[in-house]
Amino acid sequence: MTQETSSRKAAHLVLSDGRHFSGQAMGAGARVTGEVVFTTSMTGYQEALTDPSFAGQILTMTFPLQGNYGVTSYNNESNRIHARGFVVRELTELPSHRNSIMTLDAFLANQNILALTGVDTRSLTRHLRSSGVLMGTITVDETVEEALRRLRAEPNYETGNYVEEVTTASIHQYADSDKLSESGGIISSDSPHIVLVDLGVKNNIMRLLETRGCRITVVPHNTDAAGIANLTPDGILLSPGPGDPELLEDVTETVKSLVGSAPILGICLGHQVVAKAFGATTYKMKFGHRGANHPVIDTVTGQVYITSQNHGFAVDATGLSSDMQVTQVHLNDDSVEAMEHRTEPVFTLQYHSEASPGPNDTEYIFDKFLTLVKEGI
Domain extent listing, the chain: 3-159, 163-376
pLDDT at 183: 53
> Model confidence over 174-212: pLDDT tens digits?
975 445 555 555 788 889 999 999 999 999 999 999 999
C-alpha to C-alpha distance for 160 and 82, rounded to whole angstroms: 14
**C-beta neighbour count of 109 within 10 angstroms:** 17
C-alpha to C-alpha distance for 245 and 74, rounded to whole angstroms: 30
Per-residue CA distances from 310 to 32, 161, 276 (Å) = 21, 17, 19
pLDDT of 2 higher than 70:
no
Give me the active site residues, please.
268, 352, 354
> Model confidence over 280-329: pLDDT tens digits?
999 999 999 999 989 999 999 999 999 999 999 999 999 999 999 999 99
Per-residue CA distances from 259 to 85, 231, 256, 361 (Å) = 38, 15, 6, 28
C-alpha to C-alpha distance for 314 and 244, rounded to whole angstroms: 10
**pLDDT classification of 1: cutoffs 50, 70, 90:** very low
Q: Do 303 and 327 touch, CB atoms closer than 8 A?
A: no
- Beta-bridge mates of residue 340: 325, 347
> Model confidence over 31-81: pLDDT tens digits?
999 999 999 999 999 999 999 999 999 999 999 999 999 999 999 999 999
| Domain covering 3-159 assigned CATH 3.40.50.970 in the classification | no
pLDDT at 274: 98
pLDDT at 3: 42
> Model confidence over 129-168: pLDDT tens digits?
999 999 999 999 999 999 999 999 999 999 999 999 999 9
* Homologous superfamily of the 163-376 domain (CATH): Class I glutamine amidotransferase (GATase) domain (3.40.50.880)
